[in-house]
Amino acid sequence: MKASGGPDSEENGELIEVLVPGEAAGQRLDQWLAGALEGFSRSRVQALIKAGAVTLADAAIREPSHRIAAGARFAITMPEPEDPEPKGEAIPLDVLYEDAEIIVVNKPAGLVVHPGAGNWTGTLVNALIQHCGESLSGIGGVRRPGIVHRLDKDTSGVMVVAKTDQAHRALSEAFADHGRTGDLKRAYEALVWGAPQRNSGTVDAPLGRARDRVLRAVVTQEREDARHAVTHFAVLERFPAGGEALASLLECRLETGRTHQIRVHMAHIGHPVIGDPDYGKAFRTKANRLPEPFRSAVAAFPRQALHARLLEFRHPSTHMRMRFEAPMPPDMAEIARQFRALED
């Protein structure tokens, strides 16, 4: 009979106990375990045995050829899974600038920045390893080589990556300071529902974890996990429909850089980013006021309409001010175009 647990137990680092039935007496340990543990090859079982992961009466059995006895109870401690080291992959990169120390790219929507649970391949890091070889900075670790800041998977736009440790340290300090005492500037374009009454403003509201461990929410300053968060915004365009602004195009500038900051802050002031699957769900019915086929296009927009348009910083070694811009991607530009067409 197959032992319960199998591969799932390996993923969870659990302990599996198996009892040897009478008919299995005299068999090799590796041979019997390979049949008793669902999803394990004989070579995998042999590796576990040699690593001391299989015990009998609290004593490790390290010989795969060990002959088992009826009624013996073996315990198998499944090792915690190791994160695979990312490999280079031939993923196209839109390179805006590159020298021996940094590379600046225009990240497309849908591309995860670095490997993690559920996304071990097909990330920006995999593309960078292929493109840069071994020149990426190692400070970020094997899964985040050269990464000094991130964009959400479905946010497009400009990113800078360090290719040397010195560049990594300098850029990390700049991003940690968020430009308060330096020259770092970041500007995003966001298509949002409705429009702020004022043409510009600031959202100063601390962020903490929501009930979902991945999501964020505006929280009170007293919360232990509260993190200072400030977003400045300016209205670039208003898209009227029936005398009121049904949507608008904003420029958002970060004074701090918290997870999902712009998305949470815009939702907090009642103007969530169009297409945001996490913070804009309550506003999906806004699309019902649009004519077809635009209504269906907006309702089906597959991501938050957020784009990192501008990144400005000083080069880590030359200290020259560098400025990079990426135009609004076609999917967002089409939504903006159709909103403008409503005015005609």
Q: Inform me whether the pLDDT recorded for 312 exceeds 80.
A: yes
Nearest by Cα to 238 from 204, 288, 196: 196
**What pLDDT score does 41 carry?**
77
List, in sequence order, every beta strand (DSSP E) within 69-195. Answer: 73-77, 95-98, 102-107, 156-162, 185-193
Instruction: Report the Cα 283 to chain-centroid distance in Å.
Output: 24
Q: Where are the domains of the chain?
A: 6-77, 83-177, 178-344
Question: Cα separation of 75 and 244, whole Å?
Answer: 69
Q: Inform me whether the pLDDT recorded for 101 exceeds 70.
A: yes
Q: Which fold has domain 6-77?
A: 3.10.290
Question: Cα separation of 265 and 262, whole Å?
Answer: 5
Packing angle of the helix pair 29-36, 42-50 (nearest 10 deg): 120
Q: In what order do the strands lie in the sheet with 54-56?
A: 15-19, 73-77, 54-56, 59-60
DSSP state letters, 216-271: EEE--TTSTT-B--EEEEEEEEEEEETTEEEEEEEEEEESS--TTHHHHHHHHTT-
Token look-up 């010989």 returns 63
**What pLDDT score does 243 carry?**
66
Pure H helices in 97-227: 124-132, 165-177
- The stretch 109-136 carries a mean pLDDT of 85
Question: Cα separation of 321 and 92, whole Å?
Answer: 27
From 83, 94, 99, 152, the catalytic residue: 152
Which phi and psi (to 5°) does residue 227 adopt? Answer: -125, 130
Among the ranges given (30-39, 115-124, 158-167), the one the predictor scored with the smallest mean pLDDT: 115-124
Among the ranges given (27-31, 127-131, 210-214, 246-250), the one the predictor scored with the smallest mean pLDDT: 210-214
User: In which band, very low, low, confident or very high, does the pLDDT at 16 lie, cut at 50, 70 and 90?
Assistant: confident
Mean pLDDT score across all residues of the chain: 87
Q: Inform me whether the pLDDT recorded for 147 exceeds 80.
A: yes
Token look-up 């390996």 returns 10
- The stretch 13-42 carries a mean pLDDT of 85
Question: Cα separation of 199 and 232, whole Å?
Answer: 11
Annotated catalytic, 152? yes
Question: Cα separation of 328 and 208, whole Å?
Answer: 30
Higher per-residue confidence, 281 vs 228? 228
**What's the predicted TM-score (pTM) here?**
0.73
- Give the residues across from 247 on adjacent strands: 193, 239
Predicted confidence (pLDDT) per residue in 296-306, tens digit = 888 889 899 99
- Give the residues across from 321 on adjacent strands: 314
Question: Cα separation of 102 and 183, whole Å?
Answer: 17
Burial class (CB in 10 A: 0-12, 13-18, 19+), 118: exposed
The end-to-end CA distance of the chain, in Å, is 72
- Give the residues across from 60 on adjacent strands: 55
Classify domain 83-177 by CATH number.
3.30.2350.10
User: In which band, very low, low, confident or very high, does the pLDDT at 173 lie, cut at 50, 70 and 90?
Assistant: confident
Question: Cα separation of 34 and 42, whole Å?
Answer: 5
- Give the residues across from 273 on adjacent strands: 192
The count of residues in the chain is 344
Percent of the chain with pLDDT over 90: 53
Question: Among 3.30.2350.10, 3.40.630.30, 3.90.1150.10, 3.40.50.300, what is the CATH number of 178-344?
Answer: 3.30.2350.10
Q: Is 6-77's fold the same as 178-344's?
A: no
